[in-house]
Amino acid sequence: MKKRVQRLQDRLEETIAALGSASYRHPWVVVLSVAAMVGGLALQIPQLEVVTQTDQYLDPSDPIRIDYDAFRQQFGHDDIVMVALQPADVFDSRFLVQLRTLHERLEEEVPHVDEVQSLINARRTRGEGDTLIVDELLEEWPEDEAALAELREAVLANSNYRDLFISSDGRTTAVIVRAQAYESSEGAGLLAGFEDDAAVPEEEPEFLSSDSQRELVDAVRSVVADTLPAGIPVAVAGNPVVLASTQAYMFRDMGRFTALALVALASLLGLTLRRASGVVVPIVVVVLTLSSTIGMMAATGRPITFITQVIPSFVLAVGVGFSVHVLAIFFQRLDLGDEEHEAIVHALRHSGPAIAMSAVTTAGGMFSFLASSLLPVRDLGIFIPFGVLLASTLALTLVPALLRLLRVRPRKLAEYSGVPPTERVLEACARFGVRHARAVTLACVPLLLFMLAGIPRISRDFNPIEWLPEDEPARVATDFIDRYMGGATNLELVIDAREVNALHDPPTLRRIEAIQRYVEIVAGGQISKTMSLADVSKEIHQALNGGDPDRYAIPDTRLLLAQEMLLFESAGSDDLEDFTDTGFQLARITLKGKQENTSRYSAFLEKHRPEFERLANGRDVVMTGSMVIGTHIADLTVVTALRSYALAFTLITPLMILFIGRLRIGLVSIVPNLAPILMILGFMGWTGIPLDVFTVLVAGIALGLVVDDTLHILNGFRRDYLESGDVEQAIVKTMRTTGRALLFTTLGLTTAFAIYGFSGALSIKNFGLLTALAIALAFVFDLFLSPALLALVYGKKEHVKAIS
């Protein structure tokens, strides 16, 4: 087995050397071939889509997404844009004129709008004898103080307006902008609801896109800013606003962080390799790799999301590292007197197998994300491996070609007087690990046990508002609306009564009313308002009974209830379609609440779902809406963590054993790689950092990265130990030849991810800093623990033939 693995490794080394030699001899063939491939993919980049809707994180076959899509097909978009205003007096005549102007401009100037609602057109239901009149609240404009006082009294007394158009204290009013459900107006046929001649499109239309939602939000903000005087406090919030702000913030961060990563990596290259070619060649390689990776995403129809924005920084850091491992040995051999071609071949023989191995293990670690049920995380498992494997291929082929074209000159040997300080430090660390092997190993045990104890304390979370900085306008506006209007986020319940016209049955409608009352009692702090067909029925019944407050109730008989509903439809209102279908079989209950941590809503749903089903008398109750989507994604992050971590470990461990060629050493090599991951997870538990869609990536990404250094160390150690038979000497020589490149890759990776620490979004900041910390810890373990374990495993008496 050992000899067979050794033969495979030797064959791999020969193949890589031959490939690099051919690339060196025919540089223009390589350059033009790479240019053609990259150019073809780069042309696809303008087609790249950006998606911010959280429902798009779910697979189309996911039952939660299926329920949500069915809800939107029946009732339209559940998300709203709420414009909250806090004038000196809501019922002042001058302000009401401003409110009317704002309302009309929003209707006329904002694209993709289904409906605008406010006190201007709020439904007013009244009866005159046996006639039901349904009109708009301010259809008759108040002309004097008495009319304004009457308006104030009517608005504050109407429970249907409260926390929707007017705050409980009457000091804040709101305009509700509802987006259309579909991208094109043809989709309106699916929502025509109560119209008999509703046109149904031949093909199922697309739901409203992220770009269209952003256009709507931008237009709302523009109209608000242009219409209202500066003295009126105003807030524009809602899920579309948060997602539009997320999209803008993502573009700004992705461009800024990619540029910062390039500058940082170029600076590190200059400091490490101290040559212009040492900066230019790796940067060219990673720019080509990044262009190809983003182009591949566009070509395959996969969008950029808030999660997949980490791909550029990842590819940049990893791609530079591959090139550096080749260049470091090449420059060293060139300066020692080798011919250029000879130096290239030597560099590829020395570092090529480790580059190939580390590329495969890194890609294997990223492949673990394919097990995720979240589409953006799954995309990481496709396109990061693509970028990693492409970067390693270019490092082994394009780098030799570029070096031939650049004609790099050797430096004078006088410049190499003694061992550089960085390498002396690395050698000293390795010697310490070997000479104090048992003490180093034992010292790690209590630290790891302490960190392991923190892992069960990790909580889960999903809250897109926390992706934005605390001072971001959308986040400030959300806090304002949560405080004064009870929030702008909806949880939707859909009850299937299982037979046509079942909602004409008073007991059935009272069960819906009972669910609303139950929610108002048990979730008063989370849910500010509930709305359903039962509210409309009570409103109609009261109006037909002279407005008597005691008659605000559901009718007692099925016939009367059906007649009153028919009168409401005949009066010209289409509001019934907001709460039921044409057959009065489906009942919608909207629960409006604040933007909060999904763990609270998850606990709410788990606790109260059985009671909802009991109150519905065994009828099917479907929970959907943005709250449910968020809660489901939070649950899937835990599943993603368990699956991806287990799969990454399962994929990487056999690869390490195969590449190293010894079971015992392969298993030992996992320890310094797994230890920093466990420490980071424990750190999250002890410090209260939650597991969200970003931090769930840390362990999988870090594990895929940190094995690279270990592979390079073990590959160099294997080669040097075969020559000397001395553990300490082999480790020291490995650090002398490979250590500087390992230091660079660690600095490059930690810098690339630490840059995310500049993000104002806490989730992204946590992701970047935790990943950088994991990589730094892994390097420390490789400096001390890997040499210690090698010393313990080989011992002083083990002969060279042990690994030959």
pLDDT one-digit tens code per residue, 670-690:
788 888 888 999 999 999 888
Instruction: Classify burial at 425, counting beta carbons within 10 Å of its beta carbon; exposed 0-12, middle 13-18, buried 19 or more.
Output: middle
pLDDT for 515 beyond 90: yes
Between 425-429, 474-478, 543-547, the lowest mean confidence (pLDDT) is in: 425-429
pLDDT digits (tens, 9 = 90+) for 377-394: 899 989 999 999 999 999
Structure-token match 């990454």, residue found: 648
pLDDT of residue 804: 40
pLDDT of residue 246: 80
Q: How far is CA 522 from CA 516, 526, 535, 630, 752, in A?
A: 10, 9, 19, 21, 47
Instruction: Classify burial at 144, counting beta carbons within 10 Å of its beta carbon; exposed 0-12, middle 13-18, buried 19 or more.
Output: exposed
pLDDT band at residue 418, thresholds of 50, 70 and 90? Answer: low
The letter for the amino acid at 242 is V
pLDDT of residue 724: 74
pLDDT for 605 beyond 90: no
pLDDT for 194 beyond 70: no
Cα–Cα distance, 91 to 142 (Å, whole number): 10
CB 538 within 8 A of CB 510: no
The letter for the amino acid at 86 is Q
pLDDT for 528 beyond 60: yes
pLDDT of residue 645: 75
Between 20-29, 180-189, 461-470, 613-622, the lowest mean confidence (pLDDT) is in: 180-189
2 Rama sector, left if φ>0, alpha if ψ -120 to 50, beta otherwise: alpha
Cα–Cα distance, 718 to 698 (Å, whole number): 30
pLDDT of residue 800: 39
Percent of all residues in the chain with a pLDDT value above 90, rounded to a whole number: 35
pLDDT of residue 797: 43
With a CB cutoff of 8 Å and minimum separation 6, the contacts of 708 are: 318, 321, 358, 361, 362, 745
Token pair for residue 512?
């819906």
pLDDT band at residue 186, thresholds of 50, 70 and 90? Answer: low
pLDDT digits (tens, 9 = 90+) for 38-89: 999 999 999 888 888 888 889 999 999 999 999 999 998 888 899 999 999 9
